[in-house]
Each structure stands twice: as structure tokens, then as C-alpha cells.
Structure 1
Amino acid sequence: MKTRQQAADGFYRHLREWFTAFLPRQRGAAENTITSCRQTWNMLLGYVAEHHHIGVEKVTFTMVDRVTVTGFLEHMRATKSWTPSTYNQRLACIRSFFTYAAAAEPTLTIYLADLAAIPRLKAPAAAPVKYMSTDAVTALLAAPDPGTRIGLRDQFFMILMYDLAARDAEMLAMTLADIDTRRLTVDLLGKGSKPRRLPITSETAQHFGRYAAVFHPSPEPATPMFYTRRNHRPTRMSDDNVARLIRQHAATAKARCPDVPARIHPHMLRHSRAMHLYQAGMPLALLTEWLGHADPETTLIYAHADTEMKRHALEKANSATTRSPLPTPLWHDREDIIQRLCGLKE
């Protein structure tokens, strides 16, 4: 039985309508966007409940105030290493709900005004994109033991992610129907639900065959490509699971290859593949399509970051100068010409 305060507050009624009606139908938000918002609210509600020492089902509008939301965001920055970009995206998600609730029920505008006082974080100057050398990638992909069930899964996940230069969310959204081993292609659903089809190597297709034989012995097209079992049912792997497995295998790989960075995140595989494709000669326009970038300017980070290509060009230019010495000046060993140039002789 609801308390009078909860009934008057209507917090969860508005939140349900925001997720089930507003985001998918009115706003037309992509599935990945809705998933990201759901993750944000799951974390926030857990934090609010713990902060107020109550059950999650008892959270109300008054509890999700500026101080609590700021505390939540700062807590996640400290514990999850949220970047300013992630911080601002999560804050925008929370404000979006309050904007919807205030429009539906004007008396709730006071809560939106309270959250409006939370400042966005100023992003630092963009750092050069971090990527791994081909030796480091090779060591990382060889780290899992394919003789074990988990090792087989982890190795194929990283191989496919690198081969496609795919985002973490794109990998986790894949189903069995998305891979075609006959045509050697994979269909990905990128940001904004924009599909793209990418080629894979025959070696990657062979890895898929071995993986599918163990994890999908009775294949169903709609089954998640990568899953964990909950209540004896396959459910999509989480991004936390992916980050954990990559950190684990990176530690193993670094013992064999010093080039492996001390800190690796899943997106670094995407950056590494993109950089290697660019260094191999792929034009930026094609690389933009491959990566699914809506703005070609985004892809320029790989051109700016490719100091190795610039260094090789500089070394090539210097070696050419060394092989072709400058011609001897006309005035070399000619004292009379030097005197004329200096005005000492007519």
C-alpha cells in the first residue's frame, strides 16, 4: 500500500512513462540511447536509496535533488573514472527526465530548476588518441587460452572487435544473424541506429566457427552473439564484463610484450584498428564510413595522431638530403668573388 507522499509524488509513474512512451515514441531515441539512460537511472536510484537508507521503491522527487545528484556524479567520477564527457552525458540524461516530468506536471518544475544549477564539467583539451602497436595487439589477442570455454569466448570477442573496429555497444548488440561467414561480412548497428556492413577476414570467420560450435551448438538467429547465463537463460554480456576481461588479458599480455599499455579499455581496440587501417593507406573518407562516424571531422583524430607516419616522412626527407649533398657554392675558394660580394672590390 502506497504512502500518501508517494501517491502524490508520482515519481515512478513519470519515470515509467518517460522510458516507455516519451523516449521511444515521441523522441524516437535509439535503443542504445535508451539503454544508456536506463543504466544511468539504475545507478542513480541505487545511490539515492543507499544515501537515504531506504528501499529503491521508496525514492521520490524530493530525494533526487541537486546535492544528491551532484554527489552521485562525483562518486561515479571517483569510482568509475568517468570523463567530463561521460559526466555531462549522464547529467543531461537525468535533466531530460525532469524536463519531461515538469512539462507533464508543472508543479514539478521546481525540481528541474534545482538540477539546472548543477554545472557541466569543462572538458580538457583533447588528448592525442591512444592506440596500441601491432605487436601489442598481437600479444593481447594471443593472451586468452582458447582451450578453455571462457578463453575461447574472450579471444573471439577481442579478435572480432579489432577486426571490425567496433564500438563496445555495437559488439554487445550483435546477434548470430549479423554475421555471414559465406560473404565474410558483419552487420553492425551504430549510433543513432545507423546500420553498416563491414568485411571480416577468413581467419576471423574460422574463429567464429570454433566459437559458435561451443557457445551456439543449436543456433538461433536472434540469440545474442556474446552472452552470459542468468537463471539458465542467455543474456547479453555487460560492458563491465568486457572491460574486466580486457584488463585481465592485458595484464597477461604485458608480461610477454612491453609495448602493451599499462591501462587498456575496450575502445582502445577500436582506436588501434582504425590507426592501423589509416597507416596501411585507407583514405580518411573510407575510414569515416568504416567507423560509422556521422561527422568526417571526428576521423581526423587519426590523421593528427599519426606521428609515426610524419616521423617516417621526415626521416625519408633527411635521408634524401644526405644522399644528395648541396651543390658547391660558386664562390667556394674564389676570394675575388667574395670581395666583390662584400663590396671590397670593383
Structure 2
Amino acid sequence: MKNRSTSLEFFEYVRKYLTEFMPRHRNLSENTIQANRDTLNLLLDYCVNQLGYSLLKIEVNTFLDIGVITGFLDWLQTERKCRNATINQRLSCIRSVFKYIAYEEITYTSIYGRLLAIPQRKVDKNKTIEFMSEDALKAILSCPNTKSKKGLRDCFYMSLMYDSAARNSEMLSIKMKNVTDNKIAPYVFVNGKGRKKRSIPLMQKTMDIYHLYVRGFHRNYNPDDYLFYVIHHGQKMKMSTDNVAKFINKYAEQARLICSNIPDKVHPHMFRRSRAMHLYRNGMPLPLLSEFLGHEDPETTLIYASADTEMKRRAIEKATINLDIDKEKAIPIWKDDDEMIRRLYGLK
């Protein structure tokens, strides 16, 4: 194994993989790139916070000890409560990164070979899909304090995620220009898996919260701003998946005090599943539901006819629950290392 391995070399490989190889040579979608970026950030967090590494001390050779990776996968299961399917996806992302590194520098091939020896975890294909009841969803949506800016943001995020049944990655990629505030037929435009684009009709109750949210977060309208963002060094940056998971988990914990039907583990994707189940139970035909969800499976999409937007809207209206919030509540005025290392090398 070569002796010149350095952390800067490792981060340079990561930067090229995320910003050059994936988008230019593989022509992969932003969602796929983001999934790999998220996995690498989680792996680095594990190395720093659980193993005690300094970020700048992490090298390619750090992962010569395959126990670092297997420990990371165990940590995903025990601490982050990830399902086996999610853990397998994270492992696949890590393998892809080190396959690229081995291609760039042949002396690192042994690390990639060891990663291939890590077995995939068994996935129960017959496992029942977890979803929230309408009562549980109402309880969670009632928890954010919409008098605060963050509370209003969190309430709108969860409401929009449920109403649109969008994936978390799709939600975080929505820009202001993707929301059409049409009084008769408002909708949001999302980029789904496999670059499949779709427009999703939105209910007026969701748009009422949207108007309050825009008033507090987008006073100076810029069509290219992300709908949901964080401020970093004075700039609006895309919000992270970790941020979403944290506030959803927080409100789920609060909701358990008022509703006994809250699932043990509430995660962002459960809002999509819950919306789909509620629509199906309220009469939306499966072909129309598949169109609404933007399923990419060829065997599924080939047998489904294109759905009329107004048909979607009528089915959605039938399943829409009460998402009202007090429109009169005041919104406070906006108050205006390691993080930089990750940003410089394309990890943020």
C-alpha cells in the first residue's frame, strides 16, 4: 500500500467523485449525487464523533481497517435506527466511492476488495409498510410553534411533504420557481428519481401556510432560491436531510404525549407513505396513485396511463385532512473548521 496517503488526497478524490465523475462522466442525477454526499458525510461524522478522528487526519488508508466501515454500518442500525435496506444503500454508496478511488490509484484496490467482502444485510421483502393514521398525522402537525420562524418552517415542510407525497430529496431540491401560486389550481414541480419530472397539485390549506412561510422566509423573491434553506456564512444554502430528520423526530416525540398512535420511528419518507395509503383508502385507483407518486419502475409505469391533473386533484381533495393553522399568529422578524472543509470538497 502506498505511503503517501493523506487526508487532502482523500478529500480531493471525494471532490472529483462528487463534482466531476458522477455528474459529467456518469451523467447521474442530483438526487443520486446527494445520496452519495449524505452517505460520505455520515461516514465522516462517525469517524470524528464516534472514533475520535480529526477530520483532517482521515486518509484513504483509514479505511484499510474494514472495521471502520462495519462499525459504521452497525452504528447506522443501533444509533440512527436505519432499516437494513437503507444500510445496504449506504454500503453501496461507499463501495462506489472506493471503486472510483481504486480506478484512479491502483494501489488502493485492496480497500475496494475488502468492501466487496462485506455482506449485504437481509431485507424482509414481505415487511408491512409503516404509515401514520390521520389522527397521528394531525397530532404531529399540531406540535410546531408557528409563532416562531422555525416552527412555521417545520409546519410548512411537513404539510407540503404530506400533501405532495414528495420524497425528502425532492422536497429539499424545490426552488421558489417550482411553486406555481395559481389561485384556481396551485401546484409544485419536482424532479424525481431517474430525472422523472412531475407536477403535483396542492390543496388550498397547504397554500395558506405557504403564504405565511414566504412572508417570513422569502421577502425578497428570487426564483432560484431553495424553498427550504439554512443561512451559512450569509448565504442561503440547501437544508440537509439530517436537519429534517431531527425536527420530524422532535415533533413525533411531542405528539406521543397527545396521541398513542404515533409509530415508534417516524422518518421523512413516512409522510409520503402515509399520503399514498390515505389516498388509496379514499378511492384513488392504483394506476392514478402510481402516476401521482412518480414511480420509476419500468414494469409499473408501462402499464399505467397518464393521469389528468384534475382527476388527481379530485382524489386528493377527498383525502385531504384538516391542516388549518391560525393565520393571525405573528411571525417574528428575521434575525440576521470542519464545515468549511466539507463545503470546499463538495460534501455540502
Query: Given the two structures, how large is their TM-score scaled by the length of structure 1?
Result: 0.78
Aligned to 2:308: none
Could you tell me how far apart the structure 2 residues matched to 1:14 and 1:253 are? 44
Counterpart of 1:80 in 2: which secondary structure? coil
Given the superposition, is the C-alpha separation of residues 290 and 68 from structure 1 closer, same or farther in structure 2, using an over 3 Å criterion? same
Q: Which is worse superposed, 210-219 or 95-104?
A: 95-104
Partner of 2:92: 92
Whether the 8 Å contact between 2:7 and 2:57 is mirrored in structure 1 is: no
> Aligned-pair distance for 1:295?
2.2
196, 200, 203: which one aligns with 1:201: 203
Letter in 1 for 2:23: P
2:167 corresponds to: 167
- Out of 204-213 and 119-128, give the one that drifted further: 119-128
2:209 pairs with 1:192:
no
Partner of 1:128: 128
* Matches of 2:292 and 2:5, distance apart in 1: 49
CA–CA separation in structure 2 for the residues paired with 1:134 and 1:205: 20
Equivalent residue, structure 1, for 2:270: 268
Once the two structures are TM-superposed, the CA of residue 32 in structure 1 deviates from its matched residue by 1.5
Map of 1:39 onto structure 2: 38
Q: Partner letter of residue 227 of structure 1?
A: Y
Q: Distance in 2 between matches of 1:194 and 1:166?
A: 12
In structure 1, the partner of 2:225 is 223
Distance, in Å, in 2 between the alignment partners of 1:45 and 1:145 is 33
Partner Cα separation in structure 1 for residue 231 and residue 161 of structure 2: 21
CA distance in 1, matches of 2:36, 2:75: 18
**Aligned pairs for 1:42-53 within 5 A:** 42-48=41-47
Aligned to 1:290: 292
Equivalent position amino acid for 2:85 in 1: S
Aligned 8 A contact 2:6 2:60 in 1: no
Please give the alpha-carbon distance, in whole angstroms, between the structure 2 residues aligned to 1:127 and 1:202. 35
Measured after TM superposition, the shift of residue 282 of structure 1 is 0.9
1:245 equivalenced with 2:244 (yes/no) = no
Distance 2:232 2:253 in 1: 28
**Matched AA of 1:259:** N
1:55 maps to: 54
Distance across 1 between alignment mates of 2:167 and 2:237: 19
Aligned to 2:338: none
How far has the Cα of 1:250 moved from its partner?
Answer: 2.7
Please say if 1:213 is aligned against 2:212.
no
Asked whether the equivalents of residues 48 and 64 of structure 1 are also in contact (C-alpha less than 8 Å), the reply is no
Corresponding position: 1:112 with 2:112: yes
Matched, 1:148 2:148: yes
Q: Which has the higher helix share?
A: 1
Alpha-carbon distance in 2 for matches of 1:129, 1:99:
33
Which amino acid is 2:273 matched to? H
Q: Which has the higher Rg, Structure 1 or Structure 2? A: 1
Same amino acid, percent of matched pairs? 39
CA positional deviation for 1:288: 0.7
The answer as to whether partners of 1:228 and 1:235 remain within 8 angstroms in 2 is: yes
1:187-208 Cα deviation digits (max 9, x unpaired): 0111222211010112221221
Q: How does 1:319-338 map to 2 (within 5 A)?
A: none
Q: CA deviation at 1:6?
A: 3.1
Query: Equivalent residue of 1:5, what SS?
Result: coil
| Cα distance change of structure 1 residues 142 and 95 upon mapping to structure 2, 3 Å threshold | same
- Structure 1 pair 127–60 and aligned structure 2 pair: CA distance change class (3 A): same
By how many angstroms is 1:54 displaced?
A: 4.8
Q: Which residue of 1 aligns with 2:4?
A: 5
Unaligned runs of 5+ residues in structure 1 are 300-346
Q: Which amino acid aligns with 1:35?
A: Q
- When the two chains are superposed, the root-mean-square deviation of aligned CA atoms in Å is 2.6
How much has 1:231 moved relative to structure 2?
2.6
2: CA distance, partners of 1:244 / 1:230: 18
User: What is the number of equivalent residue pairs in this alignment?
Assistant: 297
